[in-house]
A and B are shown apart, each in its own frame.
Chain A
Amino acid sequence: MLPLITLKQFWNDLRRQKLRSMLTMFGIFWGTCSIVLLFAFGKGIGDAQLKSQKGMGDNIAIFWPGVTGKEYKGLPRGRQIRPTADDVTHIKQVAQTVGSISPEFRRWNVTIKRGRNSSLRMLVGCWPEFGDMRNVIPRRGSRFINQNDINERRRVVFIGNLLKQDLFGNEDPIGQQVEVNSVPFTVIGVMKEKDQNSSYGSRDSRVAFIPSTTFGTMYSTRWMSNFVVQAKKEYSMAQARREIYEILGGKYKFDPTDREALSVWDTTRGFEFLKTFFTAFQWFLVGIGASTLITGGIGVSNIMNVVLEERTKEIGIKMALGARKSYVMTQFVLETLLITAVGGTLGFLFAWLIVSLVPAFGLTDFIGVPQVNVSAGVLCIVLLGIVGFFAGIFPARRAANLQPVQALKLF
């Protein structure tokens, strides 16, 4: 029975006090808008950073040869430490903490030729594990290097998606021949396109990958450039690093605590930092939005007190006609919730509009794609509900506790 007359009164107030209603709603509008926008952009920026971080691989560390920085068992500093593929095999066999490992042989400016198209690119020799670790994933209908390729030293090549484009255009390259360093190779796979904003050497999209054994034979080398490691799920990268230092330190006689004996890029550290940073960043932004919203709520509560003053007589009339306390309360709380709901909805829609317009400005490389997500929505609804309720309940209680005579100002 209440809503119709309440709605009518609400509408009437809106029209009668246009500016005041607008300002009241603006607080809520802006608060909601800020929460949604800040959440969306915070998430967008964070995701964009994390995603391109992951482009090079998720939770990996890369080990390069190094020079000892500490004396050890009578041996001087400054000795070069250069592990071989055999050491990598050894680590794989004995290490408890290492999940995946692969040597990486690299050579710059290798001619990769197909008919008249030729390209000077980086050639990488590696194990099958390399693909998953480094996020080099084959497209549908193609594959990465496998164990048989390694064992039989097959002349097969896996190429980056842009290298494929350079050599084959839109043709299907699988099963076709290319010449790598003037040796014919069969293409077995093409990399699935990915975002990558960090690398050591070249972006994977223009690299050619061949089995490590084939690489060793072709260039008669046993020196790999580096090896890539991923810790087992239950171990941290720090633990895996310590174990690798111990294994190699035993063999090459260096202090396992000597950080300089091998140089390491542990991507998990940067990743952890980024993740923590962006989570904190996002909540900081949401906090700003929430405070804005609460400030808006305080504004609404103040306005409702003013509305109460204006309506006192009307409340008195209704009480004289038989309105119970609960009716007066409900009317006030409902009206406050209505203001917050309208303001909130407008704010949400406006934020949504901005968010959906952002990709059109081509800034997504820097700030990512902002997302209006469920948690922001739920957060807003919960906050709006709480804010609206508290903004309404205090004036409502004052209103309901009026004596009819006081309200009518009859004495």
Chain B
Amino acid sequence: MNKIAVNTNGSARGEAKSMTDTIIDMRDVRKSYRTGKVSFEALKGIDCLVKRGEFVGVVGPSGSGKSTLMNLMGCLDIPTTGEYYLEGQLVNKMTPNQLADVRNRTVGFVFQAFNLLPYATAYENVEVPLLFARVSSRKRRERVAELLSRVGLADKMANKPTEMSGGEMQRVAIARALANEPDIILADEPTGNLDSKSGEAIVSLFDELHQAGKTIVMITHDMNIAKHGERIIRIKDGLIQTNGDLS
């Protein structure tokens, strides 16, 4: 395995388990944005570790930097300074194409605003990551059908986003996030746009996925939802406040 590089920095957290069990490893990660002449530091030195199979809730007030953290975790953006290892690979050094492949295969996103393609059916939306992964058409068909029935939408395959409820759209988004069997699911306020009932259904879907062995990192405002996780990371002003078990 190519995880040795991670150990060279030999931090205290390295020794507890073998490195193959660590999926996300951030070391003093900072992220600043520049708008005109004003520079704004969204993350001010994050050290964070997520193990395989964990369900982590990320909470914090608006503007605390939790979405920025999520974007970095999902390789939608790269850190300004610091090191980020995803499955032992240094993300900072990746080429745009490598980043695209990581987003395609290693990470699955679920967004607050669902972010489905508006003109495409549920089926086609779920198919997109499979297209980018160059899966054969026969396998795509099987896989999409399997994914949509797993989220309970087998009968809505031909529906467009406009013909679905918010809860249904989010389930399509989850099916899409699972398409290429990613190791980790990143969810940014997945229930934020849903009524409480649909929200609960989505959260229990995440619970199922967790039980099936997926690693999940979920941002939320709602402590009740965050408590579904095994561990909560609290962020404030670009820094991690607590990074531990529920207490």
9 example contacts (A-B, Cβ-Cβ < 8 A) are as follows: A2-B131, A8-B119, A313-B115, A317-B117, A321-B176, A322-B100, A322-B104, A408-B111, A410-B76
User: Inside 8 A of A405's CB, which chain B residues have their CB?
Assistant: 71, 76-77
Tell whether A411 pairs with B67 under 8 Å between CB atoms, given A1-B131, A1-B134, A322-B105. yes
Residues in B with CB closer than 8 Å to A117 are: none
Measured between beta carbons, the chain A residues less than 8 angstroms from B105 are: 322
Give the number of chain B interface residues (Cβ < 8 Å).
Answer: 31
Say if the beta carbon of A324 comes within 8 Å of chain B: yes
Q: Is the CB of A320 within 8 A of B97?
A: no
Q: Which residues of A lie under 8 Å from residue B129 when comparing CB positions?
A: 321-322
Tell me, yes or no, whether A51 is within 8 Å of chain B by CB. Answer: no
How far does the Cβ of A240 sit from chain B's closest Cβ, in whole Å?
Answer: 72
Partner of B120, one of A5, A327, A403: A5
Rounded to whole angstroms, the CA-CA distance of A313 and B116 in the bound complex is 10
Q: Is the CB of B131 within 8 A of A408?
A: no
B84 part of interface (Cβ distance < 8 Å): no
A80 beta carbon closer than 8 Å to chain B: no
Q: List, in ascending order, chain B residues with CB within 8 A of A325's CB.
A: 96-97, 100
Closest 5 CB pairs of A and B: A322-B104, A12-B119, A322-B132, A404-B76, A405-B77
Q: Does A228 contact B (CB under 8 A)?
A: no
Kindly identify which residue among A12, A314, A404, A411 contacts B103, using a CB–CB cutoff of 8 Å.
A404
Which B residues are in CB contact (< 8 Å) with A313? 115
Select from chain B the residue with minimum beta-carbon distance to A401.
Answer: B96
Q: Is A37 engaged at the interface, CB distance under 8 Å to the other chain?
A: no
CB distance from B112 to the nearest CB of A (A): 10
Q: Which residues of B contact A324 (CB under 8 A)?
A: 96-97, 100-101, 132
Q: Could you tell me the distance between the alpha carbons of A325 and B119 in the complex, rounded to whole angstroms?
A: 22
Whether A323 is near chain B, meaning CB under 8 Å from some CB there, is yes
**Chain A interface (Cβ within 8 Å of chain B)?**
1-2, 5, 8-9, 12, 313-314, 316-325, 327, 403-405, 408, 410-411
Task: Tell me the residues in window 90-122 of chain B with beta carbons closer than 8 Å to chain A beta carbons.
Answer: 96-97, 100-101, 103-105, 109, 111, 115-117, 119-120
Contact B77 A319 (CB under 8 A): no
| Across-interface contacts of B134 in A (CB, < 8 A) | 1
Q: Given A325-B100, A404-B77, A404-B103, are A320 and B131 neighbors across the interface (CB < 8 Å)?
A: no
Shortest distance from the beta carbon of B25 to any chain A beta carbon, whole Å: 21
Could you list 14 further interchain pairs (A-B, Cβ under 8 angstroms) beyond the known A321-B103, A411-B71?
A: A2-B131, A5-B120, A319-B103, A320-B76, A320-B103, A320-B109, A322-B101, A322-B103, A322-B129, A323-B132, A325-B97, A405-B77, A411-B33, A411-B68
User: Nearest CB to that of B131 among chain A residues?
Assistant: A1
Contact A9 B119 (CB under 8 A): yes
Shortest Cβ distance from residue A6 to the other chain B in the assembled complex, whole angstroms: 11
Q: Within 8 Å CB of A408, what residues of B?
A: 76, 111, 115
Contacts of A410 on B, CB cut-off 8 Å?
67, 71, 76
Closest CB in chain B relative to A140 CB, distance in Å: 64
Contact between A314 and B117 (Cβ–Cβ < 8 Å)? Answer: yes
A411→B71 CA distance, assembly (Å):
10
